[in-house]
Chains A and B, each alone.
Chain A
Amino acid sequence: MNGAHDLGGMEGFGPVVPEPVHIPFHSTWERRVLANTLACMAMGVWNIDAMRASREKLPPAEYLTSSYFEIWFKGLVSRLVAEGLVSRAEVESGISQGPGRPVPSVLTAERVLPALAAGAQYTREPDRPARFAAGAPVRTRQMNPSHHTRLPRYARGKAGVIEAVRGFFVFADANAQGIGPQPQWLYTVRFDGRELWGSESDPTLSVTIEAWESYLEPPI
């Protein structure tokens, strides 16, 4: 989906404001948004790609004027409502109007540290050989899917080179739509800066993305 989240190459946002000290949260509510987001994902009702898709569906003007934890909060609420786990009225009032729906899992305190340490498994056993090898020239497809995708607009229809074959990974585009993991080979693809931004751009620049195999085709 060509949403406001796909920011690479846009201009006009002003300088980056550094913050040398590590400050994970700037207010109490940010702490609670992070914790509730992770705990709700642990229910097993939706996956990480679906969570990202919910954030990206915010209207562009709202996305760009929300802080990042506000985007997380809005994405979480819309997902919970879409799944029928809460109603908008409940979220707005803070008053639950009935018992919860049965969910596959509830993250209890004793499971938090093991769950964070274990992470999630995004790799799968390959069921076919990789189509491209490191060093191979490739071209990214030109595409504008209405669903979640991880091929940024700035890197569509561009010539690059396979930098590395990363493995056989759950395909984000499919996983976000709830139509199964549909794993594919995943590659790191390197582009010369001038291929992405034109002949005037920094000649010392190259940019890599990770691309699933179906994002790629042989060079023309």
Chain B
Amino acid sequence: MSGDHEHGHDHDEGSSLSEMELRVRALETVLVEKGYVDPAALDLIIESYETRIGPRNGARVVAKAWLEPDYMDFLRRDASAAIATLGYGGRQGETMVALENTDSVHNVVVCTLCSCYPWPVLGLPPAWYKSAAYRSRVVSDPRAVLADFGVTLPADKKIRVWDSTAEVRYLVIPQRPAGTEAWDLAALAALVTRDSMIGTGLVTVPGGAA
């Protein structure tokens, strides 16, 4: 996991990464030759998670929940079904639960054992979500982890950390920032960050009060 950070966000320049490139290519060549995988299918999987399945999906769920109390109720009752009405669902989001942040409660999601994450609404997890630093510490000292993200919560706010140890996947519904009362769905969705839907960020209005 340290590799996530030490290699930074460069592309395949370091020797270890070049070695990985060769090893993965060798494996894929064998799998294709043996007829186990279809190269066109591989490309489509990658394209899906690079272009179609990402955090903008979840942002639309959140914006709709902010605008429509009935939709928020639907999310509370059956988040999988509510999210499916926007066309999102499937792999790694089969059983969804929405976690509502309030003035008194802040929710944070983790998978301490691997990298479970709600793919249909947030896409593939960021590197930090899979890192040892996050997985080890957010369950025992979430305020210290939130500080790494520049987030400070009131001392008396309850923090609920949700460790995704089975096939239930969580989406945090962050608090709607003040000053957005007249905003439409597209404008609200544009405000919603991926981190706010994991619980490591808050939604703020750029240039405005938090």
- A residues contacting B by CB (< 8 A) are 5-11, 13-20, 22-29, 31-36, 38-40, 43, 52, 55-56, 64-68, 70, 73, 76-77, 80, 85-86, 90-96, 99-101, 103, 106-109, 111-113, 115-123, 150-152, 154-155, 164, 166-167, 169-170, 172, 186, 188, 190, 193, 196-197, 201-202, 204-212
> Could you tell me the distance between the alpha carbons of A202 and B153 in the complex, rounded to whole angstroms?
13
> Could you tell me the distance between the alpha carbons of A113 and B87 in the complex, rounded to whole angstroms?
13
Select from chain B the residue with minimum beta-carbon distance to A111. Answer: B41
> A40 contacts B31, CB within 8 Å?
yes
Query: Is B204 part of the contact surface with A, judged by Cβ < 8 Å?
Result: no
> B9 contacts A116, CB within 8 Å?
no
> B48 contacts A116, CB within 8 Å?
yes
With A16-B133, A86-B31, A123-B95 as known contacts, state yes or no: A40 contacts B41, CB within 8 Å.
no
Name the residue in A14, A32, A190 with the highest tally of chain B Cβ atoms < 10 Å from its Cβ.
Answer: A32
With A106-B38, A196-B140 as known contacts, state yes or no: A116 contacts B45, CB within 8 Å.
yes
> A122 contacts B95, CB within 8 Å?
yes
Neighbour of A96 across the interface among B30, B54, B167, CB < 8 A: B30
Interface string of B40-59 (1 = CB under 8 A from A): 11111110111001110000
Selecting from B63-71, B109-117, B182-190, the interface stretch reads: B109-117
Which residues does chain A contribute within 8 Å of B29, judged by CB atoms? 94-96
Name the residue in B28, B123, B149 with the highest tally of chain A Cβ atoms < 10 Å from its Cβ.
Answer: B28
> Could you tell me the distance between the alpha carbons of A202 and B132 in the complex, rounded to whole angstroms?
21
Query: Is B191 part of the contact surface with A, judged by Cβ < 8 Å?
Result: no
For chain B, the bracket of interface size reads 35 or more
With A16-B148, A40-B36, A204-B157 as known contacts, state yes or no: A29 contacts B30, CB within 8 Å.
no
Query: Is B17 part of the contact surface with A, judged by Cβ < 8 Å?
Result: yes
Which residues does chain B contribute within 8 Å of A36, judged by CB atoms? 24, 27-28, 31, 37, 42
> Could you tell me the distance between the alpha carbons of A95 and B46 in the complex, rounded to whole angstroms?
24
> Could you tell me the distance between the alpha carbons of A212 and B25 in the complex, rounded to whole angstroms?
39
> B136 contacts A11, CB within 8 Å?
yes
> A18 contacts B128, CB within 8 Å?
yes
Which residues does chain A contribute within 8 Å of B131, judged by CB atoms? 13, 16-17, 68
Which residues does chain B contribute within 8 Å of A26, judged by CB atoms? 7, 9-11, 127
With A18-B195, A207-B161, A210-B165 as known contacts, state yes or no: A64 contacts B26, CB within 8 Å.
no
> B1 contacts A68, CB within 8 Å?
yes
> B161 contacts A206, CB within 8 Å?
yes
17 new A-B contacts at CB < 8 Å, known A7-B132, A109-B44, A206-B161: A8-B113, A19-B127, A29-B23, A33-B24, A38-B91, A43-B36, A67-B7, A86-B31, A108-B41, A115-B91, A150-B166, A154-B112, A166-B95, A166-B168, A205-B161, A207-B139, A210-B165
Q: What are 7 pairs between A and B in contact, CB < 8 Å?
A: A9-B136, A9-B139, A24-B123, A27-B17, A38-B45, A68-B115, A73-B20
6 closest cross-chain pairs (CB), A and B: A100-B34, A94-B26, A67-B3, A210-B166, A8-B112, A109-B40
> Could you tell me the distance between the alpha carbons of A17 and B193 in the complex, rounded to whole angstroms?
16
> A32 contacts B123, CB within 8 Å?
no
> B163 contacts A8, CB within 8 Å?
yes
> B137 contacts A11, CB within 8 Å?
yes
With A6-B113, A29-B12 as known contacts, state yes or no: A113 contacts B48, CB within 8 Å.
yes
